[in-house]
Amino acid sequence: MRRLIKMMGFCFIDIVLLALSIVFSYALKFDFNFIYIRRSYWLDILCIIPLAIIIKILCFWSFKLYTTLWKYASLHEALKIGQAVLAGNILVILIALVLPIKSSFSALIISSFLDFVFVAGIRFVYRLYWSMLKNKFNSHFYSNKNLKEKRLMIIGAGEAGSVIVKELESSPCLHSKAVVIIDDDENKIGKKLHGVPILGNRNDIVRLAEEKKIDEIIIAIPSAPGSEINKIFAECSKTKCKVRILPSLSQLIDGKVSINKVRDVQLEDLLGREPVKVDLENIALYLKDKVVLVTGGGGSIGSELCRQIAAFSPKRLLILDNYENGAYDIMNELIFKFPELKLKVLIANIREKQRMESIFKTYRPNVVFHAAAHKHVPLMEENPSEAIKNNVFGTLNLVECSDKYGVSKFILISTDKAVNPTNIMGATKRIAEMLIQAADRYSKTDFAAVRFGNVLGSNGSVVPLFKKQIENGGPVTVTHPEVTRFFMTIPEAVQLVIQAGAMAKGGEIFVLDMGKPVKILDLAKNLIRLSGYKPDEDIKIVFTGLRPGEKLYEELLLEEEGLKATKHDKIFVAKPIFTDFAVLKRELDILYDLLTKEDEEILNYIPNIVPAYTRTSS
């Protein structure tokens, strides 16, 4: 009832305003000569007014002007008013031309402009009234003399910065105030954005933060690449201010900027990785309504594979893992997110051929993503036989089962450490690559591998280790000041793995574009800054020396492989180097017999299978 009264109220006001609009249009047309207007046009005006009101009010109803929440009106509502006014006035002019009414065409044109001014004006006055009322209420309700108002610096005077400043202004409950804006556009410096001065560029951040007594800095440039964010953050970290960020456009799920989306800066923001574009149609063709098996499905890469595969509506998703806790966690997550998904968790070890045979025979997977592996370089140097059992013979079991039970595609998750390996983990992954390339020559299954570098936050990666060391007050241990690694985020790596799977025809080793290598020392420093400390002052960095099997830098390509582009700009194909499966199998039989021998014998035999393997430890 209350809503109806409000609608009728606006309707009544519009009727009055539309009538006044016609009267004023004639007054403007004839220079307010009311004597002439009354003598020549008065009867016609009296005829036009009810006709115009009926037509225009009907147009307003059809454009839903009376069901809009005007207290939140914006440009969108103004455009809607413009459309309704234009439609109504066109109809009035056309009907007036047909009827035997002595009307002034130019006066009716003026009337259309006045209609917009009056109708839009009254609504935005109403919005302004509610806004002022809300601010008055908020300032009274949320006023807390004991709570200090935070002084903010906003970096970015673009659209995102504008939204943040406006929201801060209209939300006293946040107890925050934008006092200065930074922007690199020289044309903006010296001007104001919603009353907040733009006083300098990134080189002025430290000075202005001190002068204006800034408590917190918000980086509001969602369109900026990570490399730029990295440079800006480096300047911000020289201040004593807390630094927060508006996520990149690719991370804003609905694309809308809001103060609620502002969060702490994360390492991913500083990497400079561009969002991945995937061919959803081709991916859907090989995953939708298929039985998909993910080995190592409870791990960091495997669990993300499960998340993304689930979105493509597979017939059934099989999660295979030796570690029950990880498998249990991803199972519960997927049940919650995808209640319609047919899901089966299989606790099993890929080393056990009989168990693998049973699984393949029972569930008949169409697609296999093989992510199960031992991957900790120093640990595998101490336990080479375990790396071989899992990464080589576990893969062999899966390859043979995939061939026997008619798997359509088999995608091996490989690593840059397989290239010219200096450690047993890398050597075993290179043998796994050789296995799938050799098997592809005789099998109907399309075997392929995807090779990439480190992923941020994966189990056993350097990032969680650094975070733990920082939490404990340091020191942060880096092996060498010049050591570098390729990095990408887990979701990005998995998106590209799934995309490569769509491209696989058999025998390929896909190499992902990892971008520029990152110095581990820089990574450590950034993590210390992100935690609110200063490197080498609050948290010390200690160099421990390269570990057994560790390189200064990683490679993504063997010298003889070459590289070919694909239709995806971040995925390349290495030229196949085929090995005869029978020859490889004979060498693996010898290796298998050596697993009961001393580690030294095992390691000495590896170059017979992987000539590029060079031991850096003894």
Here the tokens at position 345 are: 């968790």
CA angle at residue 532 from 528 to 535, to 5 degrees?
Answer: 35
Gap between the Cα atoms of 228 and 218, Å rounded? 15
On whether the CB atoms of residues 239 and 211 are closer than 8 A, the answer is: no
Please report, in angstroms and rounded to a whole number, the separation of the first and last CA atoms in the chain: 86
**57 with 87: CB under 8 angstroms?**
no
417 is catalytic: yes
Asked if residue 430 lies in contact with residue 613, where contact means CB atoms within 8 angstroms, the answer is: yes
Contact 257, 163 (CB under 8 A): yes
282 within 8 A of 504, measured Cβ to Cβ: no
SS (H, E, C) 14-76: HHHHHHHHHHHHHHHHCCCCHHHHHHHCHHHHHHHHHHHHHHHHHHHHHCCHHHCCHHHCCHH
The letter for the amino acid at 239 is: T
Is residue 451 a contact partner of residue 432, using CB atoms and an 8 Å limit?
no
Q: Is 468 exposed, middle or buried (0-12, 13-18, 19+ CB in 10 A)?
A: exposed
Of 261, 417, 429, 551, the active-site residue reads: 417
Question: Coil, helix or strand for 212?
Answer: coil
User: What backbone phi and psi angles, to 5 degrees, belong to 63?
Assistant: -90, 10
**Where is 115: in which H helix or E strand?**
helix 105-141
Active site residues: 417
